[in-house]
């Protein structure tokens, strides 16, 4: 992935005269946090890069080093691996660095390579672990029987991250969680989105009719794809659902019961996803996201967003101009907003997406490193 080719300022390379370790949780296949990690690595290309493990389907530079967990069955079960992660981050390497930069959505911010008086640790946070701190947002940790485990993990999370010198958050939503859960301040640096790629579709893609509603993402419960199906049925409009995940069977059953066409696109390629964005009247996004790259990708294609007035959408969507945001779970409440969104200006929607370019992200990361490291 090459995200820095047109970023001359970031090419000045902060920390060039200091040893740097860049660490990330596990490395999956082309997820949003992985894109952030790779983009950060281009700002500090001399950094040694570490992850807990690389998933089998992840295609990534082999120079990224894995922890001892990669050689155990834990790599295939994140829930079982979770309690061992803090220890792993403390035994990652014998090397010591001047600066450690972590990309964290679980416990990577607890990594400790060197003593706090000699090593500066900066942590970019996608969210404090939702299944530990916000189980109401992520059902993986919502079971009441897990409450004692959550309490232990929360205490360890606070204690083991006291050495972090500076935090950056991917959104104001996450900035507020960091303050609430950890009692720390954070600078907001929105993630990079490949807006140039999505906006630069070939003419045959750009000129297609916008004729369906679109849902994109992992098919898991808190993404609310079931609500998207109900919204499409209430609006009497076709729906395309793109992605994959454990809720597929349930979603197909629900889709078979509604009176509008629902088409499933299983793990579409990036090129196919771009086509789907350009053919959509609106992207449905009735979910609370920490930031949410998908709504920005859609806007880069001139596709408005209809979703919840919560979380990252409050930062990425200008309601009434590039989408419609509302607080509702009643499918009928979305019918008028969907129709209204389809009439919004594609040009204004595309212009809004340009606030989230990789160039902007890397310039902000470089400034953060210069200020705090």
Task: List the structure tokens of 160.
Answer: 């083991």
Give the end-to-end CA distance of the chain in Å, rounded to a whole number: 26
Residue 147 has pLDDT above 90, yes or no: no
Provide the pLDDT confidence category of residue 12 given band limits of 50, 70 and 90: low
Q: Chain-centre distance of CA 48, in angstroms?
A: 23
- Number of CB atoms found within 10 A of residue 209's CB: 8
Measured CA to CA, the distance from residue 126 to residue 336 in angstroms comes to 33
With 0-12 / 13-18 / 19 or more C-beta atoms within 10 angstroms meaning exposed / middle / buried, residue 189 is: buried
Q: Quote the pLDDT of residue 175.
A: 97
* Residues 186 and 167: beta-carbon distance below 8 Å: yes
Residue 80 has pLDDT above 50, yes or no: yes
Q: Which residue has the tokens 């890397």?
A: 362
Task: List the structure tokens of 341.
Answer: 């969104």
Measured CA to CA, the distance from residue 70 to residue 67 in angstroms comes to 6
Q: Quote the pLDDT of residue 11.
A: 44
Residue 10 has pLDDT above 80, yes or no: no
| E strand residue ranges, the chain | 20-24, 48-51, 65-66, 99-104, 120-125, 166-169, 187-188, 212-218, 239-244, 262-266, 280-285, 305-308, 323-326
Rounded percentage of the chain residues whose pLDDT exceeds 90: 70
Specify the long-range contacts of residues 176-182, CB closer than 8 Å, at least 24 apart: 177/127, 177/128, 177/133, 177/134, 178/125, 178/128, 181/128, 181/133, 181/154, 182/128, 182/157, 182/158
């Amino acid at each position: 992935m090459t995200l820095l080719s047109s970023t001359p300022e970031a090419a000045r390379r902060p920390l060039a005269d200091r040893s740097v370790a860049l660490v990330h949780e596990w490395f999956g296949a082309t997820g949003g946090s992985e894109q952030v990690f790779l983009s950060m690595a281009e700002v500090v290309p001399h950094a040694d890069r570490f992850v807990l493990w690389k998933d089998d389907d992840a295609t990534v530079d082999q120079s990224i080093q894995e922890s001892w967990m990669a050689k155990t069955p834990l790599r295939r079960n994140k829930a079982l691996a979770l309690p061992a992660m803090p220890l792993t981050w403390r035994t990652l390497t014998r090397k010591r660095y001047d600066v450690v930069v972590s990309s964290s959505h679980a416990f990577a911010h607890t990594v400790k390579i060197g003593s706090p008086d000699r090593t500066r640790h900066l942590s970019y946070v996608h969210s404090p672990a939702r299944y530990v701190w916000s189980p109401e947002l992520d059902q993986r940790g919502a079971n009441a029987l897990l409450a004692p485990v959550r309490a232990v993990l929360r205490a360890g999370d606070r204690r083991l991250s006291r050495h972090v010198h500076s935090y950056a958050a991917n959104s104001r939503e996450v900035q507020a969680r960091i303050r609430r859960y950890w009692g720390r301040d954070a600078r907001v640096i929105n993630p990079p989105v490949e807006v140039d790629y999505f906006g630069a579709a070939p003419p045959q893609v750009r000129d297609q009719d916008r004729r369906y509603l679109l849902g994109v993402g992992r098919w898991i419960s808190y993404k609310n794809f079931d609500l998207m199906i109900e919204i499409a049925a209430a609006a009497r409009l076709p729906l395309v659902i793109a992605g994959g995940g454990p809720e597929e069977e349930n979603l197909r059953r629900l889709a078979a019961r509604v009176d509008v066409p629902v088409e499933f696109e299983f793990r579409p390629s990036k090129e196919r996803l771009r086509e789907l964005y350009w053919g959509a009247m609106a992207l449905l996004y009735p979910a609370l996201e920490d930031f949410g790259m998908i709504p920005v990708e859609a806007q880069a294609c001139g596709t408005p967003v209809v979703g919840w007035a919560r979380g990252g959408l409050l930062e990425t969507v200008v309601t009434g101009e590039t989408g419609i945001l509302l607080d509702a779970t009643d499918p009928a409440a979305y019918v008028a907003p969907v129709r209204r969104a389809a009439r919004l200006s594609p040009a204004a929607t595309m212009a809004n997406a340009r606030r989230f370019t990789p160039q902007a992200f890397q310039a902000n990361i470089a400034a953060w490193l210069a200020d705090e490291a």
